[in-house]
């Protein structure tokens, strides 16, 4: 049996994951939040941001972004000085508007939704901007209650949802910034330490 194609008007009027995933349910689905995203500010190419901030930067060539070092859930991380351990500008691509997102860090790493759930729910961490935003995305995409894992829909959610942790210093620094990335957007950011 062929999947029924949903009418475009139905997709525009609903936030259901099945609609956002399209025919066959192959996409990750899309969730929305009522809070403003942390990356609304646009900076000029060459600007330097303080640690813990993220901004939009448009018009950069792939070469100007540096070395691609990791990719996850439709996002690519570029390092402007990949052999350095100093704090420096790093970039993310994969956003709906075609512009990169810029932030400053000594080290940045992706984390997937399964790891987030194992660490957050294992430690009982369901507060803070990242946790609150993830709970809302998970509710909309997976139908899971607060504090409960996504369950059977985890693989679908992971197709377009990831976390990025940016560290202020290389090594045993306690200062880090976390971003929740979902469906071509930065949904939330939080700084600890």
Q: Are residues 96 and 21 in the same domain?
A: no
Three-state DSSP class for residue 119: helix
Three-state DSSP class for residue 25: helix
Q: Are residues 69 and 162 in the same domain?
A: yes
Share of the chain above pLDDT 90, in %: 62
Tally of domains in the chain = 2
Q: Are residues 17 and 96 in the same domain?
A: no
Q: Are residues 129 and 160 in the same domain?
A: yes
* pLDDT per position as a tens digit, 10-55: 222 222 233 333 333 345 677 666 666 788 899 999 999 999 999 9
Q: Are residues 69 and 81 in the same domain?
A: yes
In this prediction, residues 168-179 reach a mean pLDDT of 85
Distance CA 69, CA 73 (A): 14
Q: Are residues 18 and 71 in the same domain?
A: no
Q: Are residues 73 and 90 in the same domain?
A: yes
- The pLDDT of residue 68: 98
Q: Are residues 13 and 75 in the same domain?
A: no
Q: Are residues 151 and 192 in the same domain?
A: yes
Q: Are residues 60 and 118 in the same domain?
A: yes
pTM: 0.80
CB-neighbour burial class of residue 163 (10 A; exposed 0-12, middle 13-18, buried 19+): buried
Q: Are residues 4 and 63 in the same domain?
A: no
Range of the domain at 169: 31-193
Q: Which residues pair with 175 in a beta bridge?
A: none
Locate 57 and state its tokens: 């930067």
Q: Are residues 80 and 162 in the same domain?
A: yes
The backbone torsions φ and ψ at residue 119, rounded to the nearest 5 degrees and listed phi first, read: -80, -40
């Amino acid at each position: 049996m062929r999947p029924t194609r949903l009418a475009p008007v139905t997709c525009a009027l609903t936030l259901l994951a099945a609609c956002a995933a399209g025919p066959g349910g192959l996409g990750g689905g899309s969730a929305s939040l009522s809070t403003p995203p942390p990356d609304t500010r646009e900076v000029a190419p060459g600007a330097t941001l303080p640690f813990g901030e993220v901004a939009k930067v448009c018009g950069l060539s792939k070469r100007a972004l540096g070395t691609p070092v990791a990719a996850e859930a439709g996002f690519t991380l570029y390092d402007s000085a990949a052999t350095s351990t100093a704090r420096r500008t790093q970039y993310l691509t994969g956003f709906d508007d075609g512009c990169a997102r810029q932030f400053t860090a000594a080290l940045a790493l992706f984390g997937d939704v399964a790891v987030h759930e194992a660490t957050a729910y294992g430690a009982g961490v369901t507060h803070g901007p990242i946790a609150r935003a993830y709970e809302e995305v998970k509710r909309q995409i997976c139908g899971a209650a607060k504090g409960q894992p996504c369950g059977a829909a985890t693989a679908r959610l992971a197709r377009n949802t990831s976390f990025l942790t940016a560290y202020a210093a290389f090594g045993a620094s306690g200062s880090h910034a976390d971003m929740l990335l979902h469906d071509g957007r930065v949904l939330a950011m939080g700084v600890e330490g």
